[in-house]
């Protein structure tokens, strides 16, 4: 099983700041990596797929990078609606499809 | 737009069964693999099961293997999760997800509570 590890667990940020979230895979997942945003009380929403491609409707301030085992999600200027939990997920080595434990982005 | 609507959740005693249904609209349903993903209260996301677009392949998480089955009816645009021998640790919000690689579209979930 490919274990996905996200860091940090929690990030306290002020609106307008640049944010970088990390995700590491226990073995290579090539570029088969997605990022999801989950706001409180809502279902997860696809933000980034194939490591760096923005999903339909995802704002341009979100960008993804990386390949192999190291990945990053960057939010260029944090908006109020971006306070949420972010999950990475690999879909290269299955089954199972595996998620990271999540990074909570909270208001500083 | 794509809509995935789950139903069938509820409160059930340990050892009993429950069948979840996901009704899909706004997508070429028969072209998509369909997954179930669950989220225990206050916890992260856990993949549960998948069925291929034509139903030819099915996979399950080790935590549910042998207890859960997945099926679909492409004529009705529906996917099902049959959950048998339920355990307290199966308590979660169950999401239906359509996927073409990444998990593109998510339903709002249906809550399953296993409690005596």
Per-position pLDDT tens, chain A of length 108: 999 999 999 999 999 999 999 999 999 999 999 999 999 999 999 999 999 999 999 999 999 999 999 999 999 999 999 999 999 999 999 999 999 999 999 988
Helix (H, G, I), strand (E, B) or coil at A82: helix
**Contact check, Cβ <8 Å, B103/A102:** no
Helix (H, G, I), strand (E, B) or coil at A20: strand
**Contact check, Cβ <8 Å, A43/B47:** no
Alpha-carbon dihedral angle through residues B59, B62, B68, B69, given to the nearest 10 degrees: 10
**Residue B1 predicted with pLDDT over 90:** yes
| Percent of chain B topping pLDDT 90 | 100
Q: Does B104 touch chain A (CB under 8 A)?
A: yes
Out of B47, B99, B105, name the one closest to residue A98 (CB): B47
Mutate to test the interface with A, among B103, B104, B109 (most CBs of A within 10 A): B103
Question: Which of the four pLDDT bands, split at 50, 70 and 90, describes residue B33?
Answer: very high
Q: Does B109 touch chain A (CB under 8 A)?
A: yes
**Contact check, Cβ <8 Å, A55/B62:** no
- Whole-number mean pLDDT of chain B? 97
Q: What CA–CA distances, in Å, run from B5 to A98, B9, B23, B49?
A: 23, 12, 5, 17
Query: What per-residue confidence (pLDDT) applies to A108?
Result: 87
**What's the CA gap between B2 and B74, in Å, rounded?**
16
Within 8 A of A96 by CB-CB distance, chain B residues are 47, 59, 61-62
**What's the CA gap between A36 and A50, in Å, rounded?**
12
**What's the CA gap between A32 and A4, in Å, rounded?**
12
Mean pLDDT of the B2-31 span: 97
Dump pLDDT digits (tens) for B48-105: 999 999 999 999 999 999 999 999 999 999 999 999 999 999 999 999 999 999 999 9
Extract the tokens encoding B97: 């997800």
Between the two ends of chain B, the Cα-to-Cα distance in Å is 40
């Amino acid at each position: 099983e490919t274990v996905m590890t996200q860091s940090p667990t929690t990030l306290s940020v002020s609106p307008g700041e640049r944010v970088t979230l990390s995700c590491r895979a226990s073995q290579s997942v090539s570029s088969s990596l997605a990022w999801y945003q989950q706001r409180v009380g809502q279902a997860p929403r696809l933000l980034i797929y194939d490591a760096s491609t923005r999903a339909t409707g995802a704002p341009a301030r979100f960008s993804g990078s990386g390949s192999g085992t190291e990945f990053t999600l960057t939010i260029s200027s944090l908006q109020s609606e971006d306070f949420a939990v972010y999950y990475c997920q690999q879909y290269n080595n299955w089954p199972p499809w595996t998620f990271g434990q999540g990074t909570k982005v909270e208001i500083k | 737009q794509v809509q995935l609507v789950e139903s069938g959740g509820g409160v059930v005693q340990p050892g009993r069964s429950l069948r979840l249904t996901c009704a899909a609209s706004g997508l070429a349903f028969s072209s998509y693999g369909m997954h179930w993903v669950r989220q225990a209260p206050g916890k992260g996301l856990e993949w549960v099961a998948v069925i291929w677009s034509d139903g030819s392949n099915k996979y399950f998480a080790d935590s549910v293997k042998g207890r859960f089955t997945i099926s679909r009816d492409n004529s009705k645009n529906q996917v099902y999760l049959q959950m048998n021998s339920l355990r307290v640790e199966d308590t979660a919000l169950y999401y239906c997800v359509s996927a073409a690689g990444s998990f593109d579209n998510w339903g709002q979930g249906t809550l399953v509570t296993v409690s005596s």
